[in-house]
Amino acid sequence: MGIDDSLDKILKDEQDTEDYKNNTVLSIPEAELATISDNIISALKTVYDPEIPADVFELGLIYKIDIDDNRLVKILMTLTSPGCPVAGEIPKWVENAVSTVEGISGVEVSMTFDPPWTSDRMSEEAQVAIGYY
């Protein structure tokens, strides 16, 4: 029995075997993906806009989080305004925080101002934190 035959027995189903033979990446198991996603959100909640007493996640600055099959995390985010004094720093803070999450291969943070951020994107927690009712 060759190595490919042994691997065929280890892989769960025919599609996984075909993916392996074609040198494609297998998807992340659903339970693990949920854990990684929760940990990413927890990491994002450690990053605060220095001018506002709320974290970037609760402020609604995170527009999209994607985790590809290679475990690369891609984050699309915005700022409260294009002229934010720490505009060049916050994306790096986000990248640094998320890069500590176990089970990922890397982090890419992209910025957008389309659509522009509005206070409607804030969670109730953020609204209470900044006194916005």
> Domain spans of the chain?
3-129
Q: Are 65 and 75 contacting, i.e. CB atoms less than 8 angstroms apart? A: yes
pLDDT of residue 2: 43
Residue-wise pLDDT for 46-58, tens only, equals: 999 888 889 999 9
> In a 3-state reduction of DSSP, which class is residue 3?
helix
pTM: 0.78
> Where residue 65 falls among pLDDT bands split at 50, 70, 90?
very high
Residue-wise pLDDT for 79-98, tens only, equals: 998 888 888 899 999 999 99
User: What is the pLDDT averaged over residues 103-125?
Assistant: 96
Q: Which of 36, 100, 45, 47 is closest to 70 using CA atoms? A: 36
In this structure, what are the phi and psi dihedrals at residue 64, rounded to the nearest 5 degrees? Answer: -155, 140
> Where residue 6 falls among pLDDT bands split at 50, 70, 90?
very low
The third-level CATH classification (topology) of the domain covering 3-129 is: GMP Synthetase; Chain A, domain 3 (3.30.300)
Residue-wise pLDDT for 21-51, tens only, equals: 555 555 899 999 999 999 999 999 999 988 8
Query: pLDDT: is 61 or 23 the higher one?
Result: 61
H or E element that contains 67: strand 62-67
